[in-house]
């Protein structure tokens, strides 16, 4: 409004980015992470894990229909959802930790958007050639050759996208069965819909939208900016060393000239299409490819590596003043990151602890309070309890119910002769349980008598207990 | 290649906060297209779905979508899924219902819903009953606690004028105000408290015994055990006794009282009489508002497993 003249245009077309191929240690690290993460993602649903005849044998399975989550030897029921909440808290704290210490390291290496975009660019390079060839192809008029290359690329992308969407649905039901059903057309419509949506979004985000997602759509970079400080490791350009930049000349070297030879290698490899020499920028995902590109160039011209490097904001100031480089560890170890690590570890330990003390027998007892007690015809006082037993094993198991010793209370289970309750494999059973105190007994005439329900897994003699209250005649 | 930030001449908006200025970079073009697409979608939405308010009602939208219709569809789908079970329940042999764990479980859940909608008003949502309305969770039954007996009672009700098979038709607890003097009433009350094991005046109770045997035992039985015990003892114990064979006279010897076991309440019962009524619930007797055969069987199964079923 107050600018002297109106901007030229209100909106602008996306400037296409053609990242050049690069070699180096960060590129290798990215390849490694891509292989590991995508490998885990695509292969996990196919890992088998024997849980007995009546339970699924898929190692990782989110069974929404029966509300079970299987993870190798761990099985989570809906009432244990706090484990998932705990993992989400850990994921959140982990991102805080990594962002405050290493900046957008998640964005640069591990984010699915980055990983799949990287894979899609790899395919693009295979089909259409490296940067210069792709720029030429982009500028070329449509021809049979351009159409052929584009079509090949799109088909390959579509296969990757299909595999990606396909892998997702395999996490939710038995993978081999679903694969057969998907192929012969008998899978549930929801499977096809999910598959289609994820295929389409993978194709679009990885192939077409790419860096636009990071710049305009993703909220995480905006949050990250608030978590960085002058000690956070980001990617920087050593201004004091590089400037003034200039082309490398064979003749007598201009002593004023810096190390930057303005070869544009760092710009050409950037998947976000920025020039790192302009300083820290909103778009930068700190993937390190510009470092690889610059180091390669420095090696060629015989200058030390590290003109573009992982740096903290503090470094620029101190190095410009001629002070020695601050070690990375000194940047990382500071109260803030130590606090995040501590919090992260506390939640992690709590979860592991909770997982180990979790009993295999799960019993809840809810006293029926409508009415609190009933008088039977012989004057016996009866209390009713809804007892809920969960059998987490792969076969039906009998559970024996009992009351604690020394009690004058009697136990009876609705619909069964004795006090043994059989619960089917991987199911929960509700039983109506009667606890009775004979007329005139202490419990019958006391207002409240505490007692304990004991349940024994008759297969392995494991026991668990729940404390509750018996209500007598309150007069 | 050129990038947005190396054009040093990018304008700022002129805003400044603590020295931080805002670039006036152009919006991405795709963003603008998304914006237009959203507008188009919004317009389409108001045509396709109920949207524009009129004087009486909003436009229906050409897709004809309504949340009510969706609920109706979902309910119909549930009904359709349960149709087999409901049909099985309609003709099931109640005595054998418990052997079919699946059908029994379904019946109990269905019966629970039927009970809460139709029965809980008098018997309470926990079936604990109230004064004059029997508890259904204890082991004392006036008309029988077998599952078929419960179903029969629900079908025909008690002392109503709807069903000829209503339980206890014509059999009421009459007023003894004109039969017993005040002193005789006290004697009978003392006797009744005696046979139920409560605190009482033994001398008075001895006086009351003859009065009880002469006037009360015809319905309550010589021992005061009530009409159900008497009928079960002398008739076929597996029958349903539909034709007024049972009067519904209560068992006076146990710890359970329908109206109250204290002196004042027993005296009141004796002086004023009692005649509890339960409507017939079968559709046959309540066209349009009654329960279907399946619902009656379900509610009988539900009541039967509350703790008192015989």
Nearest to A368 among B28, B30, B126 (CB): B126
Whether residues A281 and B305 touch (CB distance < 8 A) is answered with no
Q: How far is B163 from chain A (nearest CA, A)?
A: 30
Best probe of the B interface among A263, A283, A374, by most B CBs < 10 A, is: A374
Query: How many CB pairs below 8 Å do chains A and B form together?
Result: 103
pLDDT digits (tens, 9 = 90+) for B228-275: 888 888 888 788 776 667 888 999 999 999 999 999 999 999 999 998
CA–CA distance, A346 with A86 (Å, rounded to integer): 11
**Interchain CB distance below 8 Å, A11 and B307:** no
Cβ atoms of A368 and A386 within 8 Å: the answer is yes
- Helix axis angle, A144-170 to A25-43, nearest 10°: 50
Percent of chain A with pLDDT over 90: 60
Greatest Cα pair distance in chain B: 118
Q: With bands split at pLDDT 50, 70 and 90, how would you rate the model's confidence at A405?
A: low
Are residues A405 and A422 in contact, defined by beta-carbon separation less than 8 angstroms? no
Q: Give pLDDT, residue B1.
A: 39
Is the N-terminal amide bond of A381 cis, ω within 30° of 0?
Answer: no
C-alpha distance from A372 to closest chain B C-alpha (Å): 10
Say if residue A276's pLDDT is above 50. Answer: yes
Cα dihedral A290/A295/A298/A302 (nearest 10) = 180
pLDDT of residue B238: 81
pLDDT score, position A4: 52
Chain A's closest residue to B136, CA to CA, is A374
CB distance A212–B14 less than 8 Å? no
Residues of chain B found within 8 Å of residue A14, distances taken between Cβ atoms: 28-30
Give the 3-state DSSP-derived string for B116-132, with helices as H, strands as E and coil as C: HHHCHHHHCCCCCCECC
Chain B nearest CA to A342, separation (Å): 34
Which pair of tokens denotes residue A142? 């449509």
pLDDT of residue A473: 83
Residue whose C-alpha is closest to residue A30's, from A136, A121, A96: A121
pLDDT at B23: 81
pLDDT at B5: 45
Q: Does domain B72-168+278-304 have CATH number 1.10.760.10?
A: yes
Nearest residue of chain A to residue B137 (CA atoms):
A374
Q: Please, what's the largest Cα pairwise distance for chain A? A: 116
Determine the pLDDT at residue B239: 80
Residue B250, helix vs strand vs coil: coil
Q: Please, what is the average pLDDT of chain A?
A: 89
For residue B70, the tally of other CB atoms under 10 A from its CB is: 10
Is 70 exceeded by the pLDDT of residue B47?
yes
> A370 and B1: CB-CB below 8 Å?
no
State the pLDDT confidence band at A8, using cuts at 50, 70 and 90. Answer: low
**Which of A278, A377, A432 has the CB atom closest to B138's CB atom?**
A377
Quote the ipTM score: 0.83
pLDDT value for B8? 52
Tell if the CB–CB gap between B135 and A368 is shorter than 8 Å: no
Interface contact flag, A432 B307, Cβ < 8 Å: yes
Instruction: Work out the pLDDT band at A181, boundaries 50, 70, 90.
Output: very high
Q: Which residue reads 């024997």 in tokens? A: A50
Q: Do B126 and A370 touch (CB under 8 A)?
A: yes
Partners of residue A373 in chain B, C-beta under 8 Å: none
Residue A19 DSSP class: P
Show which residues on chain B lie within 8 Å of chain A, measured between beta carbons.
1-6, 11-14, 24-32, 98, 124-126, 128, 135, 137-140, 197, 251, 254-256, 305-307
The tokens for B77 are: 């789908």
% chain A with pLDDT above 70: 96
Mean pLDDT on B296-308: 94
Residue A118's Cβ-count burial label (10 Å; 0-12, 13-18, 19+) is buried
First to last CA, chain B: 89
Residue in A9, A212, A281 closest to B5 by CB: A281
Chain B residues lying within 8 Å of A275, measured CB to CB: 3, 5-6
Flag if B27 and A275 touch (Cβ within 8 Å).
no
How confident is the model at residue B100, as a pLDDT?
A: 92
Q: All domains of chain A, ordered by start, with CATH?
A: 25-225 (no CATH), 234-326 (no CATH), 361-471 (2.60.40.10)
> Among the listed ranges A114-123, A251-260, A339-348, which one has the minimum average pLDDT value?
A251-260
* Residue A362, min C-alpha distance to chain B (Å): 22
Cross-chain CB nearest to B254 (options A11, A278, A378): A378
Q: Cβ distance A274 to A283 under 8 Å?
A: yes
Both tokens of A61, joined, read: 């399975």
- Tokens describing residue B233: 């003892």
Q: Of A17, A370, A378, which has the smallest distance from its Cβ to B255's Cβ?
A: A378
Least confident of A272-276, A357-361, A430-434, A469-473: A357-361
Chain-chain contact of A377 with B14 (C-beta, under 8 angstroms): no
pLDDT per position as a tens digit, B144-168: 999 999 999 999 999 888 888 888 7
Residue A2 pLDDT > 50: no
pTM for the whole structure: 0.78
Please determine, for residue A429, whether its predicted confidence score (pLDDT) is greater than 50. yes
Q: Mean pLDDT over residues B103-114, rounded?
A: 95
In tens, the pLDDT along A77-90 reads: 888 888 889 999 99
Of the two residues A3 and B296, the one the predictor is more confident about is B296
Question: Strand A11-12 and strand B27-28: pairing?
Answer: parallel
Residue A289: pLDDT over 90: yes
* Listed ranges A1-5, A252-256, A293-297; the one with the highest mean pLDDT: A293-297
Give the pLDDT of residue B167: 85
**More confident call, B284 vs A415:** B284
| B29·A15 Cβ contact <8 A | no
3-state secondary structure of B253: coil
CA distances from A31 to A163, A220, A394 (A): 19, 23, 41
User: In chain A, helix, strand, coil percent, each to 5?
Assistant: 45, 20, 35
pLDDT tier, A112 (very low <50, low <70, confident <90, very high otherwise) = very high
Judge whether B39 and B33 are in contact, CB under 8 Å: no
Confidence band for A475, pLDDT divided at 50, 70 and 90 = low
Q: Closest partner residue to B125 among A13, A278, A370, by Cβ?
A: A370
pLDDT at A79: 85
Kindly indicate the confidence band of residue A302, based on its pLDDT and cuts at 50, 70 and 90.
Answer: confident
Q: What is the pLDDT of residues A194-212, one digit of tens each?
A: 999 999 999 999 999 999 9
Three-state secondary structure call for residue A99: helix
Average pLDDT over residues B198-208: 92
pLDDT band at A447 (very low <50, low <70, confident <90, very high): confident
pLDDT at A19 over 90: yes
Q: Give A365→chain B minimum CA distance, Å.
A: 17
Long-range CB pairs of B87-92, under 8 A, 24+ apart, other chains included: B87/B294, B89/B294, B89/B297, B89/B298, B90/B292, B90/B293, B90/B294, B90/B297, B91/B293, B92/B297
pLDDT value of residue B173: 92
Q: Which residues of B touch A8 (CB under 8 A)?
A: 26
* Chain A residues touching residue B138 (CB < 8 angstroms): 374-377, 382
Chain B hits for A5, CB-CB cut-off 8 Å, are: 11
Distance CA B142, CA B228 (A): 6
pLDDT grade for B6, boundaries at 50, 70 and 90: very low
Alpha-carbon gap, residue A207 to B22, rounded angstroms: 31
Q: Distance between CA atoms of B138 and B126, rounded to whole angstroms? A: 12
CB contacts, 8 Å: B135 with chain A: 374
**pLDDT score at B9:** 64
* B27 to A11: CB separation less than 8 angstroms, yes or no: yes
- Report the pLDDT value the prediction gives residue A254, as an integer from 0 to 100: 62
- Lowest mean pLDDT: which of A24-33, A352-361, B1-10, B301-310? B1-10
Work out the minimum CA distance from A297 to partner chain B, whole angstroms.
18
pLDDT band at B170 (very low <50, low <70, confident <90, very high): low
Domain B182-272: CATH architecture, name and number where available = Orthogonal Bundle (1.10)
User: What residue segments make up the domains of chain B, in order of their start?
Assistant: 72-168+278-304, 182-272
Residue of A nearest to B98 (CA): A415
Residue-by-residue DSSP string for B118-179? HTHHHH-TTS--BTTB--SSSS--SS--SHHHHHHHHHH-BS-SS-TT-BTTT--B---TTT
Categorize the per-residue pLDDT at B4 as very low, low, confident or very high, splitting at 50, 70 and 90: very low
């Amino acid at each position: 409004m107050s600018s002297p003249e109106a901007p030229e245009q209100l909106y602008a077309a996306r400037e296409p980015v053609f990242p050049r191929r690069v070699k180096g240690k960060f590129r290798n690290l990215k390849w490694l992470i891509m292989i590991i993460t995508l490998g885990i993602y695509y292969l996990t649903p196919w890992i088998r894990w024997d849980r007995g005849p009546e339970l699924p044998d898929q190692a990782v399975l989110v069974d929404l229909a029966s509300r079970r989550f299987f993870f190798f030897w761990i099985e989570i029921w809906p009432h244990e959802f706090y484990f998932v909440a705990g993992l989400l808290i850990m994921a959140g704290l982990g991102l805080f930790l990594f962002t405050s210490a290493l900046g957008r390291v998640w964005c640069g290496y591990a984010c699915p958007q980055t990983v799949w975009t990287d894979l899609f660019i790899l395919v693009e390079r295979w089909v259409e050639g490296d940067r210069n060839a792709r720029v030429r192809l982009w500028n070329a008029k449509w021809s049979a050759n351009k159409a052929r290359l584009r079509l090949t690329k799109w088909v390959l992308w579509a296969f990757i996208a299909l595999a990606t969407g396909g892998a997702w649905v395999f996490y939710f039901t038995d993978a081999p069965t679903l694969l057969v059903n998907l192929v012969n057309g008998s899978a549930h419509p929801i499977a096809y819909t999910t598959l289609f949506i994820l295929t389409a979004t993978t194709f679009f985000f990885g192939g077409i939208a790419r860096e636009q997602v990071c710049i305009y759509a993703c909220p995480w970079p905006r949050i990250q900016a608030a978590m960085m400080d002058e000690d956070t490791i980001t990617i920087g350009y050593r201004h004091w060393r590089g400037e003034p930049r200039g082309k490398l000349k064979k003749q007598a070297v201009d002593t004023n000239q810096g190390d930057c030879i303005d070869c544009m290698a760092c710009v050409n490899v950037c998947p976000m299409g920025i020039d790192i020499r302009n300083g820290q920028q909103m778009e930068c995902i700190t993937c390190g490819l510009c470092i690889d590109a610059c180091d390669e160039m420095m090696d060629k011209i015989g200058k030390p590596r590290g003109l573009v490097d992982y740096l903290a904001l503090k470094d620029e100031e101190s190095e410009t003043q001629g002070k020695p480089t601050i070690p990375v560890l000194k940047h990382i170890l500071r109260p803030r990151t130590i606090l995040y690590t501590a919090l992260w570890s506390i939640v992690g330990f709590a979860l592991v602890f909770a997982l180990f003390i979790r009993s295999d027998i799960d019993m809840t007892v809810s006293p029926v309070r409508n009415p609190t007690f009933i008088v039977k015809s012989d004057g016996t006082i009866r209390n009713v309890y809804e007892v809920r037993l969960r059998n987490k094993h792969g076969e039906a198991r009998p559970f024996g119910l009992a009351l604690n010793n020394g009690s004058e209370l009697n136990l009876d289970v609705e619909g069964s002769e004795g006090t043994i309750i059989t619960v089917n494999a991987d199911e929960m059973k509700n039983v109506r349980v009667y606890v009775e105190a004979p007329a005139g007994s202490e419990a019958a005439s006391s207002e409240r008598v505490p007692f304990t329900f004991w349940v024994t897994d008759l297969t392995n003699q494991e026991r668990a207990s729940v404390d509750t209250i018996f209500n007598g005649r309150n007069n | 290649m050129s990038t947005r930030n190396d054009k040093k001449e990018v304008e700022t908006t002129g805003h400044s906060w603590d020295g931080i200025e805002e670039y006036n970079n152009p919006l991405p073009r795709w963003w603008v297209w998304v914006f237009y697409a959203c507008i188009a979608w919004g317009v389409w939405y108001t045509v396709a779905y109920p949207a524009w308010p009129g004087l009486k009602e909003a436009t229906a939208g050409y897709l004809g979508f309504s949340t009510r219709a969706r609920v109706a569809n979902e309910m119909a789908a549930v009904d359709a899924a349960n149709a087999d079970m409901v049909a099985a329940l309609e003709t099931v042999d109640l005595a054998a219902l418990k052997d079919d764990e699946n059908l029994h479980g379904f019946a109990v859940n269905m019966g629970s819903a039927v009970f809460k909608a139709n029965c809980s008003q008098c018997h309470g949502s926990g079936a604990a009953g109230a004064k004059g309305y029997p508890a259904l969770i204890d082991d004392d039954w006036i008309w029988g606690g077998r599952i078929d007996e419960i179903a029969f009672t629900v079908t025909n009700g008690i002392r109503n004028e709807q069903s000829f098979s209503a339980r206890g038709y014509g059999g009421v607890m009459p007023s003894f105000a004109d039969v017993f003097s005040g002193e005789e009433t006290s004697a009978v009350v003392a006797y009744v408290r005696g046979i139920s094991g409560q605190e009482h005046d033994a001398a008075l109770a001895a006086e009351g015994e003859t009065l009880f045997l002469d006037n009360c035992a015809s319905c309550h039985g010589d021992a005061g055990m009530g009409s159900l015990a008497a009928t079960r003892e002398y008739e076929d114990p597996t029958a349903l006794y539909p034709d007024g064979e049972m009067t519904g006279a209560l068992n006076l010897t146990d710890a359970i009282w329908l109206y109250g076991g204290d002196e004042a309440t027993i005296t009141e019962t004796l002086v004023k009489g009692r005649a509890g009524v339960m409507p017939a619930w079968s559709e046959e007797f309540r066209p349009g508002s009654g329960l279907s055969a399946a619902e009656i069987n379900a509610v009988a199964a539900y009541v039967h497993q509350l703790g008192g079923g015989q």
